[in-house]
Amino acid sequence: MSFTVFLGNLPIWVTADDIKQWLAADDLVADSVKVIRNHETQESKGFAFVEAPTADEMAAIIRRFDRAPLEDKVLRANPAQPTKGAVGPAKAGAPAGPGGPGGAPRTAAGGARPERRGGGRKRDHEPKSAFATELAKAL
């Protein structure tokens, strides 16, 4: 089970070390801190993910940082949500095949979406990890 906190509305100068120091100052524990950066410029995108070891620690981190003032900003902290397109295990009784779990993607109307052919912008490279894939979908 993941105890990941989304920490948003950060000033662009904030680093993972800054967040680790803030956590330590309040006796809070995090397994990891990842400030999300623009791939090309390496400038912070203004949000981070903090992985806590337990649900109680996650709740304490959220209480500490949610709506906390920092410069002219008000920070946001909440449990990280899985990306909308995240694929999980199929639910019992769910239909398989086109439009179902593991099948073709569905449209808003519920039908299977046709494959795109040409004309679309292709990425130069695909994400190499599950985290990168989820993050790319979120952005």
Residue 117 falls within a domain, yes or no? Answer: no
- What is the residue range of 10's domain? 4-79
Mean pLDDT of 120-126: 49
pLDDT one-digit tens code per residue, 25-68: 999 999 999 999 999 999 999 999 999 999 999 999 999 999 99
Residue 53 falls within a domain, yes or no? Answer: yes
Residue 69 has a pLDDT of: 95
DSSP 8-state class, residue 95: P
pLDDT one-digit tens code per residue, 64-117: 999 999 999 999 999 999 877 766 554 444 444 444 444 444 444 444 444 444
Residue 127 identity (one-letter amino acid): P
Q: Count Cβ atoms below 10 Å from residue 52 Cβ, excluding itself.
A: 23
Residue 130 has a pLDDT of: 64
Q: What is the CATH number of the domain that holds 61?
A: 3.30.70.330
Residue 120 identity (one-letter amino acid): G
Q: Which alpha helices (DSSP H) does the chain contain, by range?
A: 16-25, 55-65, 130-138
**pTM (2 d.p.):** 0.60
Question: pLDDT averaged over the chain?
Answer: 77
Query: In total, how many domains does the chain have?
Result: 1
What CA–CA distance (Å, rounded) separates 77 from 70?
A: 13
Taken in order 38, 41, 43, 46, is the CA torsion positive or negative? negative
